[in-house]
Each structure stands twice: as structure tokens, then as C-alpha cells.
């Protein structure tokens, strides 16, 4: 299975994600610079965390207009699984691939801590091996991670099962404790916490298995191809 890891100026979790994909799950990952196009034979796309363009103007907004996003949109429309983590999530909402916006945390501070996610949708390419309401110990690291939509959009998200993850407790002021959402088709998923930082026992002091299932779900959905 070929997974493309998109790299923007300011990405800083691209190597973490690449390591997990290749060394932990034995997938064929490749970096793609934001100015270049994507090959059509990619089986999945990941937008990693970081501070694309230094979070100038608004987190993710400049990266959302990068040339590579045109290809990401085309492949997403065809059903290719797309995962955006932290800054990648911000890029996905700013590009219109996901609904909502990520605002500054209510604390107005950068937050870096462990928290728990609750699985609300286990039918996406990244959650099919997880159980509904399963708890995932996972770290967050963001300054603009507070998810928000208007009331009517929130109703639609609930109606169409687009809320993928919620925080177990109030963390950064996100509306309805939302930590991750998907598009209507379910193949594009964005989440603020970092699964790539929680899949190995050496760096996860609680339980690395639930976060690992996010990547194992993708393998189950697409299959490992030589």
C-alpha cells in the first residue's frame, strides 16, 4: 500500500508519521512536497501536524491553497482515504474538505498533554477496527485546536454521523467536545490529537494499542500491496 505524506513549509510531524507508517506498520510511504502533484496510484494520503507557513494569518489557511491540495481534493472525491492530523486537520477544514473551523484554545495557550478520545464513528477507513465508545489514550499539541461549527451544521454532523472522535473531558473548549470529524462519504478524516505519537509502547505510557488500530484500520480497508 502506498501512502503519501504531504510536506508543507513548517511541517514538523511528517517524519514522525513516516516512521510510524514505514517502521511500525511496514507500509510504503513517500513524502510529497506541497508544490508538486500526486501520483494517481496512491492508496491513502496523510496531512501531518506542524505549523505550515508558521500559522501565518490563520493555522492551515495558506497551506490550504497549495498546489498539492487540488490533487488531494480530486483523490478524495474518488474515495481515497485522507487523514489530517492536527495542522493537517486545520488544512482540511480551511480547504473545504471538512466542515468547521479550528479556533484558538479557550486558554489562549498552546496545549501539550495526554488526554482520552472516545470513538463516535467506527465506519471510516481509520476507525473500522475500533469499537464504538472505545477510549483512546493520546497526546494533543496545538494552539488552535478548538473545533467550532454553527448550530445547524452541528445538527447535520450528528445526523450524518460525521463526528468521529470526542474528548472524554473538556480539553480546549471544542464545541460538543469534538476532536475529529469526517466528510459525508467518510473517507476524509481530520483529528487534532496525534496518533503517530501514541502507537509505540516506548512513548505511550498508558496503552498504545488503541492508537495503533487507527493505522491498522487503514490497512484493513485498503490492504497491504506489494
Is 148 strand, coil or helix?
strand
- With bands split at pLDDT 50, 70 and 90, how would you rate the model's confidence at 1? confident
* Side-chain-facing half-sphere of 169: CA atoms under 13 Å: 8
List CB contacts of 15: < 8 A, sequence separation 6 or more: none
What per-residue confidence (pLDDT) applies to 222? 85
Mean pLDDT calculated for residue range 66-84: 97
CATH code for the domain of 41: 3.40.50.880
Give me the pLDDT at residue 224, please. 61
Q: Band of the pLDDT at 226, cuts 50, 70, 90? A: very low
CA distance 128 to 107: 33
The grid coordinates listed for 126 are 481509520
What pLDDT is recorded for position 49?
Answer: 97
Alpha-helical segments (H) within the chain:
14-19, 68-77, 87-94, 151-159, 209-222
Mean pLDDT of 175-201: 98
Total structural domains in the chain? 1
Residue-averaged pLDDT of the chain:
96
Quick one: average pLDDT of 43-57?
A: 95
Provide the domain limits for residue 80.
2-222
> pLDDT of 99-136, one tens digit each?
999 999 999 999 999 999 999 999 999 999 999 999 99
pLDDT tens by residue, 137-181: 999 999 999 999 999 999 999 999 999 999 999 999 999 999 999
User: Among all chains, which residue has been given the C-alpha cell 470529524?
Assistant: 181
- Catalytic residue numbers read 86, 194, 196
pLDDT computed for residue 223 by the predictor: 76
Identify the burial level of 63 via C-beta atoms within 10 angstroms of its C-beta, where 0-12 means exposed, 13-18 middle and 19 or more buried: buried
Whole-prediction pTM: 0.96
Q: Which of 44, 56, 40 is nearest to 144 (CA)?
A: 56
Amino acid at each position: 500500500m502506498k501512502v503519501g505524506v504531504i510536506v508543507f513549509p513548517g511541517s514538523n510531524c511528517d517524519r514522525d508519521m513516516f516512521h510510524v507508517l514505514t517502521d511500525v506498520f511496514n507500509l510504503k510511504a513517500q513524502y510529497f512536497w506541497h508544490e508538486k502533484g500526486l501520483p494517481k496510484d496512491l492508496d491513502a494520503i496523510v496531512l501531518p501536524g506542524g505549523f505550515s507557513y508558521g500559522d501565518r494569518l490563520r493555522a492551515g489557511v495558506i497551506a490550504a491553497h497549495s498546489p498539492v491540495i487540488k490533487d488531494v481534493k480530486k483523490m478524495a472525491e474518488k474515495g481515497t482515504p485522507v487523514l489530517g492530523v492536527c495542522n493537517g486537520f486545520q488544512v482540511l477544514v480551511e480547504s473545504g474538505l471538512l466542515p468547521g473551523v479550528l479556533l484558538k484554545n479557550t486558554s489562549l495557550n498552546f496545549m501539550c498533554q495526554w488526554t482520552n478520545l472516545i470513538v463516535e464513528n467506527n465506519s471510516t477507513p481509520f476507525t473500522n477496527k475500533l469499537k464504538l465508545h472505545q477510549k483512546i489514550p493520546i497526546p494533543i499539541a496545538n494552539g488552535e485546536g478548538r473545533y467550532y461549527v454553527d448550530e445547524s451544521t452541528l445538527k447535520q454532523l450528528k445526523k450524518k454521523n460525521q463526528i468521529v472522535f470526542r474528548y472524554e473531558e473538556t480539553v480546549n473548549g471544542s464545541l460538543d467536545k469534538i476532536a475529529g470529524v469526517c466528510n459525508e462519504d467518510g473517507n476524509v478524516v481530520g483529528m487534532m490529537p496525534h496518533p503517530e505519537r501514541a502507537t509505540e509502547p516506548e512513548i505511550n505510557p498508558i496503552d498504545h494499542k488503541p492508537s495503533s488500530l487507527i493505522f491498522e484500520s487503514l490497512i484493513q480497508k485498503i490492504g497491504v500491496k506489494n
